[in-house]
Each structure stands twice: as structure tokens, then as C-alpha cells.
Amino acid sequence: MAQPNNKIDHVPEPTLRRLPWYLSVCRLLKSRGETYVSSTRLSKETNIVASQIAKDLSCVNIVGRTRVGYDIDNLLEVLENFLGFTTIHKAFLFGAGRLGKALLNDTGLKQFGLEVVAAFDTDPRIIGHSTAGIPIYHINDLEAKMRRYKVKIGILTVPIDNAQEVADKMVVWGIKAIWNFTPLRIRVPNDIVVQNTSLYAHLSLMFNRLDGMECANDE
């Protein structure tokens, strides 16, 4: 399954988190017709010090050329490949409510390597229907659909009351990675990958910083 570029050993997580930023800058510069980018320029665009950028890129075996910098096409190819955006990963979505439907409609995910092939819910009013061309099945059909689609990724967008129960079902039927959008910490076996993306947790961080900033300005 893994691409040759994924064989790169143990990229530290902070580096992993920064790589998509460099990728975005490269995409932007390419769309403006540029062919090379210096680490100084990358630094200016990302607010990350140039030496850190050079270190991060060397983790994925990218080395810049003195004076010219990095070849943008090469950087794009290596980063997109390494970040998994060039391989389509199929996924099931669990919970086709507000947020779930929003994600089904977000065709941008496919550009980044994620294709949602089916959704699951328990609401009889939506089962048998589809959103953005993606069929919605009853959660009880999961076993059969897992056999048919051979999916490894599950997106969790159910209400918190069902989050753990649905996560348990995913694991039983063979899901290996859960993208958890609920604000609940789900418990899974050690060999299951969980990526938490809680919009509400981010929202509270922002409110808190904004209030702090205003208190500071009032003083």
C-alpha cells in the first residue's frame, strides 16, 4: 500500500503538521507562474524560521539548491505524495446530520485524497436517499458494505450520545482509522488510528484568546 516516498522514517509530528503549509505556499506560487522558492520566501509566507523549514524538508529528502532554492514542481510532487494526497483513500461517513452532510458536500476532500463512498445513519427519513451522489445506508448494513467497498477510514459525525457505540462498530467491522469530528474522546484499541478534529474545541480556543486579548487591551 505505502508509496516509496512513505518509506521515509519517522517524520516528527510537528514537522508533519507544518508540511501542508509549505505545500499550500508552493501551490499558490505555482499558480502565479513561479518555478523556484527560497527558504527565506517560504519563511516569510509561513512565519516559520528558514532553518526549521530546511530541517523539515530534509526529513522528506528535499534539499534546496544554493541561491535558487527549491524547485516548486519537485516540492509539490514530493509533498503531495508524502502527505497521501495523490492516492485516493476510500472512506465511510457515519452520521449524515448537519456536519456529516456538509462534509459529503465538500468535494474538496477528494482533491486531498479522501473519497467518501457511502454514508451510514439510523434516521429512516434519510436512509435509501443520497447526498451529493453518496448513498446513505442503515448502520446495520455496515458489515455487508465493508465487504463490498473494502474501506479503511471512517469519518465520525454522529451526536456524542452514539459516538462510542458507532466507533466500536467501525472497529469490529474493520475500519482502521477514525476521523473523529465529535467533541468526545473515543476509546479504541491501540492499532486503530484516531484523528480528532473538533470544530467546537477550536472555537473555544479562539473565544478564549479573543477575550484574553480584549482584557489586555482594556488594561
Candidate segments 66-74, 116-124, 138-146, 184-192, binder of its own copies by CB under 8 A: 184-192
Give CA–CA dist 93/14, Å, rounded.
28
Tell me whether residue 63 or residue 199 sits nearer to its own copies (CB atom): 199
Give CA–CA dist 7/123, Å, rounded.
43
Q: Give me the least distance between CB of 66 and its own copies, in Å please.
A: 26
> Of residues 20, 69, 135, 174, which one binds its own copies by CB under 8 A?
20
Least Cα distance to 43 among 21, 62, 14 occurs for: 21
Q: Give me the least distance between CB of 96 and its own copies, in Å please.
A: 13
Tell me whether residue 51 or residue 208 sits nearer to its own copies (CB atom): 208
Tell me whether residue 47 or residue 66 sits nearer to its own copies (CB atom): 47
> Of residues 4, 14, 31, 189, which one binds its own copies by CB under 8 A?
31
Give CA–CA dist 132/155, Å, rounded.
16
Q: Which of residues 139-168 bind its own copies (CB under 8 A)?
A: 152-153, 160-161
> Of residues 78, 101, 134, 171, which one binds its own copies by CB under 8 A?
101
Task: Find all residues with CB under 8 Å of 196, minimum gap 6, and list them.
Answer: 180, 185
Could you tell me the CA-to-CA distances from 19 to 16, 35, 65, 80, 181 in Å, in that order?
Answer: 5, 19, 19, 10, 22
